[in-house]
Structure 1
């Protein structure tokens, strides 16, 4: 891993656990085992590191969720369930629940700086579009494009809200129950996700 990659990965972890404003350049340097000169060779400010972290998160979501799961297939219900399982697995593997990496950034940074808000808003639009396209493919839902976007926004709101509740309660069942309800509402599966908890 290059020094630049180590800086970004260290910053990602620190910002996820502590927040952007509570993560200092010094914290990042220590975690990455890098010198100030090395950091400023690649990044001209803490903001540029923050933007790199956001872009790294988006790239991961795009690869694993948008393109890896929410792509057109012959089994859209399974794809929807796989999205829910993706959220389940990420949080279930943790011993302490820090929230959603992207949700945390949106909550903290959307009003901090217009450059942050613009990138985060584009991310949310991409997620809504990918999810709504998947919902249109589920025959039993009978959704047109506009209705599917409304449903996608509602689903994302429920997911992010339950992850916020998970963060404050540190009780995994809060998220598991929401995922199970979404699975029951939008697919013919019956509490497969909740039964895994």
Structure 2
């Protein structure tokens, strides 16, 4: 792995663990096992390196989410697969956690890939809900954008609840609750 790749990977991990302020150039260099001047040789500085790391994290998240949402199954099954996909729940979402970092949120440039990625997930889920409505899997009155927002809020909020109590069961309970609300219901026979 090249030095610039090691720097990006180290920064990604540190941003996830410590946030922007807690990610010092010294910590990045130590984690990447890189020499003193290597960061400035490959990047303009910490903001430039952080942007590369955030973009990489966002791209990986999109790839993972697309792999599930574009997979086989009914619209409900694909949303269920997204909600139940393997995650390190107690670490939180590597993209969603960035929204809690005041330095990232304050920077349009650093916030942009976070905002774009979460927006992309919402749009993709909204399209699946609309597809499900057309196929009769979901009630016709559902609003795809609102359901997509609820799905994303359940995931991000589930991370927060699980971290707060130190137990992934809180995340799982939120997922089960949302899925029970979304589950296609058969109308009672007369």
TM-score band w.r.t. shorter chain: 0.7 to 0.9
Q: Indicate the residue corresponding to 1:2 in structure 2.
A: 2
Distance in 2, Cα, partners of 1:153 & 1:11: 29
**What residue number does 1:101 align with?**
94
Partner Cα distance (1:156, 1:39) in 2 = 35
Between Structure 1 and Structure 2, whose CA radius of gyration is higher? 2
**Cα drift, residue 183 of structure 1:** 2.0
How many residues were matched structurally?
A: 181
> SS of the counterpart of 2:153?
helix
For structure 2, the residue ranges without an aligned partner over 5 or more in a row are 186-190
Q: 1:118 — aligned with what?
A: 112
Distance in 1 of aligned mates of 2:70 and 2:130: 12
Q: Distance in 1 between matches of 2:7 and 2:109?
A: 21
Please give the secondary structure, in 1, of the residue aligned with 2:97.
helix
For normalisation by structure 2, the TM-score amounts to 0.86
Alignment partner for residue 135 of structure 1, among 129, 150, 174?
129
| C-alpha distance in structure 2 between counterparts of 1:52 and 1:62, whole Å | 15
Where does structure 1 differ by over 4 angstroms across 4 or more consecutive aligned residues?
none
* TM-score for both structures, normalised by structure 1: 0.83
Q: CA RMSD in A?
A: 2.1
Unmatched runs of 5 consecutive residues or more in structure 1:
190-197
1:52, 1:149 → 2: CA distance?
Answer: 30
C-alpha distance after superposition, 1:89-141 (max 9, x if no partner):
2125xxxx232111111121453212122222222211110111111222332
Once the two structures are superposed, what CA deviation does each residue of 1:49-82 show, in whole Å capped at 9, x if it has no partner?
A: 11111111111111111x2122275522221111
